[in-house]
A and B are shown apart, each in its own frame.
Chain A
Amino acid sequence: MSNTENLLDAFRYGRGLEKQSLKLKIHRVFGVVWAQMKILLNYKMQFFLEVIDIILNVLIYYFIGFLVSGDELAKLGYRTSYQAFALVGIALSRYIWTSISRISRRMQREISIGTFESILVTNTSIDLWIIGQALFGFLWSSLWFVGTLVSGILIGIPIIITVYNLPQIIFIVLFSVLVHASIGILFAAIAILYKQIETVLFVFSTTIEFLGGVVYPIAILRKYQPLYYLSLMIPFTHSLELMRKVMISGINIWDPAASINLIALSLFLPLVWLSFKVLNYYYEEARKLGEISSY
């Protein structure tokens, strides 16, 4: 058989396109996840560094924990060791932060290496692509999230995970991921045109560290009313409060003390819709300005 016949053979299945179904959409989203995973695994050094980073973080807060007495925390309403308090704070904030920043960094990276255009010229929409990126970011980081909690438990930090509250914990995580993925998508949208996205990410990470109550209880902020109210306006604060109430204090999410945070968190759900609107707006703008590849 000649080479040319071979070529003709390649197309004997016609266009070979799947029908535009939900199944196909999911297939594409997981295609993105699969590719990102393979790329990351091929960067052996980076992979290694991410592991070291997590281990160091757990250790640092473990030792700082010896400096803070449980009595002080108890006064602020958390009956636990500082280690447990900080472990949950660090684990969740790192989880959310690395996942969010990964999406917009990926966006800028794909723009700068030119693959962004090649993706957009396929018939996969930018929406599906970004969902794939967000899913990968959160899936990947959730390994570290779980890893951090498990290593915390192994060194004897008292956090509560039972068959009874595990579904609640998973629910809180999924709900938090939904809200924060939309913030990640919002940042990625901005990153299409605004090249200094690292500044935005920095402001975001300090905000959640400082106002979200990662290493100290937000109750402390009551002394500075404006800061306290500001901290209540950040979805992360409520995710973390929920998490601590369930994992440390052993409260159920439907108890009023916890459900108040759940309600507050759901107020941020419109962000999901907004983030896709903004993404498509910036994408249109970039196509007008000629900025979807770095010229």
Chain B
Amino acid sequence: MDNAIIVRDITKVFRIGHNRQIVALDNVSFEVKEGEFFGLLGPNGAGKTTLTKIISTLLIPDSGEVLVNGYSIYKEPMKVRQSIGWMQGETGGRALYWRLSGYDNLKYFATLQGVNSKVAEIRIKTFLKFLDLDKDAYRLVKDYSTGMKIKLLLIRALLHNPSILILDEPTVGLDVASAIKIREFLRELNEELNKTILFTSHNMTEVEQLCDRIAIINKGKIIFVGSARQMKEKVEKVKVVSLKVRMNGKTENELVSSLMKMNSVEKILSKRNDEGIYEFRIAVRDPYETIPELVTKLKDWKIEAIERSLPTLEEAFIRILGGDYIE
């Protein structure tokens, strides 16, 4: 068997109140190979957490199938749970008992995982030491920093030596040093211990650094699956100019149509009105060609600022999606 995780046509709709619903996942399919470091990249609300929880048997999808180590999430959820270690970083280290020490938290979960207590002790001590938590092991978790809590969550996911790790934004909200340490640890787990890792993040650089393959998810749909290199090439093609103007008696529509007439403008990515100053973010073919063109053609408006800018993740997605102009 060479696929650790197979996700087939997963759809999940949340009902909110009586008649509102959110399509959190829309026909999602992909697979993660054994030993792969797989990144799931997407902005907030894209459906990453929903997807990782479905794979981890915490949520039941409306339709579709997931196989983990060959076990179906419907038919053999216990086998799936034995195969995986799951953690969620987003909640900033909740999901721990703050009135227990770090050590006791881990000991408790090792028992729940059915790990032999002598083996558990060796593992807990080794991991605590490896992540520089050994000196704080017997302090109550309520006195831990976010970084320390996240480390604890990671160790907890490893206690039963699962072959697959499902890590939902493990570095979110961490200071730079802690994030680096955690990334190193994950790389080690993948390379030295051959753990399959499904890793979610909304940080493009991080995913690019760590992952063999990447899926990009946006509004519940997978819009790209490929190598980090393939993603980078696509993203690097996206060039953005940010333009801040005052209307000077003209209308917004007039400005949009002037912009669209310009040769080098590919797509208006977003616009925002901040007390009379409009900010347009524009995807362009060549910023060095666009900027002078904007300056000459927008004489009737008052330009406050104009600059080349790096694409945000969402903007890169819009381009990768390959859609037409928004307006």
Q: Mark A residues whose CB is within 8 Å of B.
A: 3-4, 6-11, 13-18, 20, 24, 27-28, 31-32, 34-35, 38-39, 42-43, 113-115, 117-125, 129, 284, 287-290, 292
Contacts and interface: CB of A to CB of B under 8 A. Distances in A.
Contacts of B95: 113-115, 117-118
A123 B82 contact: yes
A129 B160 CA distance: 18
Interface in B185-230: 188-189, 192-193
A119 B94 contact: no
B108 to A, nearest CB: 4
B144 interface: no
Nearest to A24: B114
Interface size bracket, B side:
35 or more
A16 B116 CA distance: 6
Q: Which of B53, B95, B112, B160 gathers the greatest number of chain A CB atoms within 10 Å? A: B112
A122 B97 CA distance: 16
B127 A10 contact: yes
Contacts of A113: 94-95, 97-98
B291 interface: no
Q: Which of B86, B100, B109, B111 gathers the greatest number of chain A CB atoms within 10 Å? A: B111
B272 to A, nearest CB: 28
A39 B57 contact: no
B116 A11 contact: no
B78 A35 contact: no
Given A6-B129, A14-B161, A124 B114 contact: yes
Contacts of B82: 17, 123
28 contacts: A3-B130, A4-B192, A6-B126, A7-B130, A9-B122, A11-B161, A16-B119, A16-B161, A17-B113, A24-B114, A31-B112, A32-B112, A35-B100, A38-B100, A42-B99, A43-B99, A113-B98, A114-B94, A114-B95, A115-B97, A117-B53, A122-B113, A123-B78, A129-B112, A287-B58, A287-B59, A289-B14, A290-B59
Contacts, number: 131
Contacts of A31: 108, 111-112
Given A7-B192, A123-B114, 20 more contacts: A6-B126, A7-B189, A10-B123, A16-B119, A16-B161, A18-B114, A28-B111, A28-B114, A32-B112, A39-B100, A113-B94, A113-B95, A115-B97, A121-B81, A121-B84, A121-B86, A122-B81, A123-B78, A289-B14, A292-B58
A281 B248 CA distance: 63
Name B's interface SS.
mixed
B296 to A, nearest CB: 51
B245 interface: no
Contact of B115 (A4, A18, A115, A288): A18
A225 B227 CA distance: 77
B109 A122 contact: yes
A39 to B, nearest CB: 5
B59 A42 contact: no
Given A115-B95, A287-B58, A4 B188 contact: yes
B237 to A, nearest CB: 37
A115 B161 CA distance: 20
Nearest to A288: B60
B293 interface: no
A85 to B, nearest CB: 39
B267 interface: no
Contacts of A120: 57-58
A292 B57 CA distance: 11
A10 B140 contact: no
A117 B56 CA distance: 10
Nearest to B140: A42
Nearest to B62: A288
Nearest to A120: B58
B50 interface: yes
B238 interface: no
B286 interface: no
Contacts of B53: 117, 290
A118 B109 contact: yes
B115 A121 contact: no
A262 B180 CA distance: 65
B168 to A, nearest CB: 11
B100 A9 contact: no
A43 B142 CA distance: 12
A27 B113 contact: no
Interface in B85-119: 86, 88, 91, 94-100, 104, 108-109, 111-116, 119
A174 B140 CA distance: 35
Contacts of B193: 7-8, 11
B14 A35 contact: no
B266 to A, nearest CB: 38
B120 interface: yes
Contacts of B15: 289
Q: Which of B50, B97, B130 gathers the greatest number of chain A CB atoms within 10 Å? A: B97
A119 B57 CA distance: 12
Given A8-B193, A120-B58, A123-B78, A39 B111 contact: no
A24 B117 CA distance: 11
